[in-house]
Copies of this chain bind each other. A is one copy, B any other.
């Protein structure tokens, strides 16, 4: 390997080394030099319609395959991606944002360069608010160190970072990359020992312990470690909404989603009557906790996250999640009789001829539709709450922005999810309002030859809000969503009014298995899932 390279090549080398094969973005003049380098590399550059779409795609790519990269131009590009980066921050999805910027050499000469908002540092300062590390590369010599430190932060904290590349720095020479050496996770050993001993003692003396698993198990790749622990403890396990699918839902000890009074009653009762709740990698967010309806006594909980381990009312700051779970797996706790959850047999679904489609029946039907080769991607509203009640009987990936709840996530996320794992055919549930935000990314899906099945749950408005506070502002224009293929000259579309229509639509998706399908599912504006009704009432009360 040569002793030097360019700053741009250095960054590309590192990204590839971290397992990334796709970069999402929209080109713009301040980043074109770097785009040329991307095109010459083995990375596949995926041009999206908008930077917001690129951000959501990169976020989903990260959730499926470990790290996502978005590459955009200065301000008009970067600021458009901001909301999706903020979502990745809120939900701990590791994303690298690479932004072009005006050349350092041209800034003095012409202080009012196009795309500039206020100062040349404005975009960097804004991204500092939604990332765990941000840097503008202003000198080639220090570029390798700055790039490495920034990427390390992304990997260590599983949250977005921001790298700004002035366009005249991209092809400057810098030292060639050394082999990537991730910093070792370090726990304070005596603290780890004490925490594990304390937790083990709590679990040992508990009669009815429960595990509650969250999304960090997935982010930090701890699924197998969790499985070992679940087996050893023999106790029931539930997941949070954001963490849905961190454990195979047909696992005999798995009960379902816990979200306080918002979720299934049997799960709620079992979790809240436990005498010890081991919470692993879960965010205690309002939606995860059923909008304040969760009732978990702190004195009974062991709450371990990537940020800290809390046992009852005290905290161990310097103990890493992975070390804690690993050590707990080795500790003497069992044996204990293994709990087996009797998964209720799903009611067999028989389509009723020409019966109008409802949310409840739709998800009942969908439950039969999922298999190992699908990834379910939910947008906000009943696309998420209705889907939460799905009992996925085989191992299925499940993606949704269940905490940050930004509408418009699902369609662009399908791009990233399928590129992150090309063996999966995404099933997208998206509301009509959310589709109107980012649905044009079906264009990217068509261009890249992807084949998701997109169900638009069309109730002619913002229905979560209808249940919180109804008003004329919740009604939106009714698109013929099934006509998207005509606009895009690609894909297959159809309408569903009845249960009979749905069967036909599902058959059609099998015939059209090489291209995207969009199904316009007409629903009554006031139809909703049981979960949505509970949620709406609950949020409404707090206003």
A residues adjacent to B (C-beta < 8 A): 27-29, 32-33, 35-36, 39, 45, 47, 49-50, 52, 75-76, 79-80, 82-83, 86-87, 89-90, 103, 106, 109-110, 112-118, 122, 125-126, 129-130, 167-168, 283-289, 292, 403-408, 436-437, 439-440, 443-444, 446-447, 462, 464-465, 468-469, 471-474, 476-481, 483-484, 486-489, 539, 542-543
Cβ 8 A contact of A440, one of B404, B440, B462: B440
Q: Which residues of B contact A408 (CB under 8 A)?
A: 50
Asked if A29 and B483 make an inter-chain contact with CB atoms under 8 angstroms apart, the answer reads no
Asked if A477 and B439 make an inter-chain contact with CB atoms under 8 angstroms apart, the answer reads no
Cβ 8 A contact of A473, one of B39, B129, B406, B484: B39
Given A27-B471, A36-B471, A122-B130, 15 further pairs, Cβ under 8 A: A27-B473, A49-B437, A50-B408, A52-B52, A75-B404, A80-B406, A82-B82, A82-B83, A90-B117, A106-B542, A114-B285, A116-B404, A118-B130, A443-B476, A480-B488
Q: List 10 A-B contacts (CB under 8 A).
A: A32-B469, A39-B471, A90-B117, A126-B126, A126-B130, A443-B477, A447-B476, A477-B488, A479-B489, A480-B488
Minimum Cβ distance to chain B for residue A75 (Å): 6
Q: Which residues of B contact A483 (CB under 8 A)?
A: 483, 486-487
Cβ 8 A contact of A112, one of B86, B285, B471: B285
Asked if A292 and B443 make an inter-chain contact with CB atoms under 8 angstroms apart, the answer reads no
A112 to B240, CA, bound (A): 14
* Residue of chain B at shortest CB distance from A536: B29
A45 to B471, CA, bound (A): 11
Q: Which residues of B contact A489 (CB under 8 A)?
A: 478-480
* Residue of chain B at shortest CB distance from A122: B129
Assess A114 versus B82: contact at CB under 8 Å? Given A440-B436, A464-B29, A465-B27: no
A483 to B408, CA, bound (A): 23
Q: Which residues of B contact A292 (CB under 8 A)?
A: 109-110
Cβ 8 A contact of A543, one of B27, B33, B288, B447: B33
Cβ 8 A contact of A110, one of B168, B286, B440: B286
A408 to B79, CA, bound (A): 13
Assess A117 versus B89: contact at CB under 8 Å? Given A465-B29, A487-B480: yes
Q: Which residues of B contact A126 (CB under 8 A)?
A: 82, 126, 129-130
Asked if B75 and A79 make an inter-chain contact with CB atoms under 8 angstroms apart, the answer reads no
Asked if B473 and A45 make an inter-chain contact with CB atoms under 8 angstroms apart, the answer reads yes
Asked if A86 and B90 make an inter-chain contact with CB atoms under 8 angstroms apart, the answer reads no
Minimum Cβ distance to chain B for residue A50 (Å): 5
Asked if B129 and A32 make an inter-chain contact with CB atoms under 8 angstroms apart, the answer reads no
Cβ 8 A contact of A89, one of B86, B118, B477, B487: B118
Cβ 8 A contact of A404, one of B45, B115, B283, B478: B115
Minimum Cβ distance to chain B for residue A229 (Å): 25
Minimum Cβ distance to chain B for residue A109 (Å): 7
Asked if A76 and B406 make an inter-chain contact with CB atoms under 8 angstroms apart, the answer reads yes
* Among all A-B residue pairs, the 8 with the closest Cβ atoms: A79-B83, A112-B285, A32-B469, A76-B406, A49-B436, A447-B477, A86-B117, A443-B477
Asked if B473 and A47 make an inter-chain contact with CB atoms under 8 angstroms apart, the answer reads yes
Minimum Cβ distance to chain B for residue A454 (Å): 14
Asked if A469 and B129 make an inter-chain contact with CB atoms under 8 angstroms apart, the answer reads no
Q: Which residues of B contact A404 (CB under 8 A)?
A: 75-76, 114-117
Minimum Cβ distance to chain B for residue A524 (Å): 19
Minimum Cβ distance to chain B for residue A243 (Å): 14
Minimum Cβ distance to chain B for residue A506 (Å): 23
Asked if A167 and B543 make an inter-chain contact with CB atoms under 8 angstroms apart, the answer reads yes
A270 to B337, CA, bound (A): 93
Assess A76 versus B405: contact at CB under 8 Å? Given A130-B117, A473-B27, A486-B486: yes
Asked if B471 and A32 make an inter-chain contact with CB atoms under 8 angstroms apart, the answer reads yes
A474 to B31, CA, bound (A): 12
Assess A465 versus B112: contact at CB under 8 Å? Given A89-B118, A118-B89: no
Q: Which residues of B contact A406 (CB under 8 A)?
A: 75-76, 80, 115
Assess A465 versus B49: contact at CB under 8 Å? Given A75-B83, A116-B90, A292-B110: no
Q: Which residues of B contact A76 (CB under 8 A)?
A: 83, 87, 404-407
A167 to B167, CA, bound (A): 43
Q: Which residues of B contact A447 (CB under 8 A)?
A: 476-477
Of listed A289, A408, A543, residue having the most chain B CB within 10 A: A543
A475 to B91, CA, bound (A): 33
Minimum Cβ distance to chain B for residue A119 (Å): 9
Q: Which residues of B contact A488 (CB under 8 A)?
A: 477, 479-480
